[in-house]
Amino acid sequence: MVQKSGRRQSPNILVTGTPGTGKTAMSTALAEATQLRHINIGDLVKKNNLHDGWDDELDSYIIDEDLVCDELEDVMEEGGNIVDYHGCDFFPERWFDCVVVLQTDNTILYDRLSKRGYKDSKLSNNVECEIFQVLLEEAKESYAEDKVVAMESNNIEDISRNVATLTDWIRNWASPPQS
């Protein structure tokens, strides 16, 4: 629900990062702590057929970014959402009050993706994205820099600390948290 001033009553947060950095785990925990709505874009794409088919090489759906944005428009205007996705450059900037980029140590990330059964090419591509901080740069290019915050996500203690930091920020919603 939007206040008369035009500002949403609750913020929208984008949680992004390379696959395997803990986006869904942290988003789920944050949603439970704050009662904000968790929207996992991968699940939304599958459930509502917001894709253009399957990419065998990448072993994933080819999402239709326009359909995803159309699907989310109303709920994003209401506020109170935690959006969880490994990309961030196609969402309208106006949707988000904070953009969290989760980052994971490369050896930890490699182990996580190996356990998921990622093929060698997909595994190395994602680890390289993390090494070169591709998602952090994408976020900084797509959103006002004061909305973007990088957070370490190597273990459960990091997730707990990140949830506590973001929960405090939501309670005092005004500017992005300091990491």
Q: Which residues are part of a known binding site for ATP? A: 20, 22-24, 116
Annotated binding residues, written as ranges, equal 20, 22-24, 116
Alpha-carbon span 127 to 123, nearest angstrom: 6
Mode of pairing for the β-strands spanning 37-40 and 81-84: parallel
**Phi and psi torsions of 76, nearest 5°:** -70, -35
Residue 38 CB-half CA count within 13 A:
19
> What are the residues facing 13 on neighbouring strands?
82, 98
